[in-house]
Amino acid sequence: MKQTRNRMILAITLGMSLVIAQPVSASNQYSIVDLGTLGSTFGYAFAINENGKVLGQSATALDESHSFIWENGVMTDLGSLDSVNSYTDARDINNNGQVVGYSNATMGGAFLWQQGIMINLGILPGGSFSYANAINENGRVVGASNTESGETHAFIWHNGVMTDLGTLGGTSSDATVINNLGQIAGVSDTASGEVHAFLWRNGVMTDLGTLDVPSGYYPIAINDRGQILGYYGDISLGESQAFLWQNGVMTDLGSLGGDYTFPQDINERGQVVGASRTASGEYHAFLWKNGVMTDLGTLVGGTNSFATAINERGQIVGQSDNGSETLAFIWQDGVMIGLESLGGTFNSANAINNGGQIAGQSITALGDASHAVLWTNE
């Protein structure tokens, strides 16, 4: 169930128009914890592991963008590889509390943070720049680095060794997600210049193929069953369709009646969530399972909704408008429940673990700050 870093950003990008719709809402039994920021007025959380460690991003008092871990009431700044030009962009966390991402550095930039120490993972031979996208429970890290020839290649890093995964015949590739079996999904250009998704396993990179367009396929998640979730199309032009690849077959997940579907997460049961345009032009959160896409609706009075994550219990989180504000929600047992905010008119649920803890962001009551938040039902 990856990728965590982009959920909130993609949800906000869709926007929330305020017209009248229908579906469901219910009383909220979840409580909200204000995690704060790293000293500024802006922060948000985008991931949470099974031990309740929350990963997020915040501006510091010096207006530098840093990543943080929050645990048991304490927010820890992950720091930076370069103390002068300080910038850190964490992208994933595993259940051991290891974090990977990108930080400014003279050489490299891909980092592994563990037990309070940030390690520069280095570069491929001859390169100068790298970044990490994901880490599995075994500490294997994937990302991309440039090479001596100036190309950018996907890599896997383990026990101090960075291995070049190559490409699908073109000049660039990027490893975006990895499961606990060491199977990697990513994107690469081909010899003819098309952009295809790939699966790398046992030292072999396999082209996942195409559907009804020849190029522009991007994987965003892979589970331990080897199912790869992604999208194809040009997001900048408002074009996106969802695909699921398994056992050599790529399947289009369809839509809610419109011409746009963006997937966000998949669990180990193969259940997929995201957002899809309806026949009337609204964006609604969806659950896809066993070949059927279900419209999750919106909060009462709302028009648009977006699902960002799903756990192994089938609990889904995201955001929906209600006609006057945008609220985080949890969907469970067929009911969409709006979550408490810090008093402002916008909040978003970006990640959920199997214990039902939810990480996200909320605007404060005065509307002048965004804080990372945690919702629990304990």
For 177-207, give the DSSP string: EE-TTS-EEEEEEETTS-EEEEEEETTEEEE
- Average pLDDT score over residue span 323-349: 96
Cα–Cα distances (Å) from 367 to 8, 36, 304, 345, 362, in that order, read 18, 14, 22, 8, 10
**Residue pair 378/367 in contact by the 8 Å Cβ criterion:** no
Q: Rounded to 5 degrees, what are φ and ψ at 49?
A: -95, 180
Cα–Cα distance measured from residue 256 to residue 291, given in angstroms and rounded to the nearest whole number: 13
Is the per-residue pLDDT at 2 higher than 80?
no
The arithmetic mean of pLDDT across residues 29-42, rounded, is 96
Label residue 52 by pLDDT band (50, 70, 90).
Answer: very high
β-bridge pairing 161-166 and 343-352 = unpaired
pLDDT in tens, 192-237: 999 999 999 999 999 999 999 999 999 999 999 999 999 999 877 8
pLDDT of 10 higher than 50: no
pLDDT attached to residue 5: 52
Residue with tokens 């660039």: 172
Measured CA to CA, the distance from residue 306 to residue 276 in angstroms comes to 8
8 has pLDDT over 70: no
Indicate the burial class of 323 (C-beta count within 10 angstroms; 0-12, 13-18, 19 or more): middle
pLDDT attached to residue 17: 35
CA distance 364 to 23: 27
Fold of 7-376: Methylamine Dehydrogenase; Chain H (2.130.10)
- The pLDDT of residue 23 is above 80: no
Instruction: Give the model confidence (pLDDT) of 84-136 as tens digits.
Output: 889 999 999 999 999 999 999 999 999 999 999 999 999 999 999 999 999 99
Which among 161, 194, 201, 195 is positioned nearest to 178, based on CA atoms? 201
> Does residue 98 have a cis bond before it (omega within 30 degrees)?
no
**DSSP-derived 3-state class of residue 9:** helix
Confidence of residue 83 (pLDDT cuts 50, 70, 90): confident
Say if residues 46 and 10 touch (Cβ distance below 8 Å): no
Is the Cβ–Cβ distance between 216 and 233 less than 8 Å?
A: yes
Q: Are 341 and 56 in contact (CB under 8 A)?
A: no
**Global pTM?**
0.93
pLDDT of residue 176: 98
Residues 130-149, mean pLDDT to the nearest whole number: 98
What pLDDT does residue 20 have? 29
Reported confidence tier of residue 71, pLDDT bands at 50, 70, 90:
very high
Residue 11 pLDDT grade (very low, low, confident, very high; cuts 50, 70, 90):
very low
- List of residues 6+ apart from 290 with CB closer than 8 A: none
SS3 label, residue 13? helix
pLDDT exceeds cutoff 90 at 352 = yes
Give the pLDDT band (50/70/90) at residue 82. Answer: very high
Q: Which amino acid is at 294?
A: T
How many other C-beta atoms are found inside a 10 Å radius of the C-beta of residue 320? 33
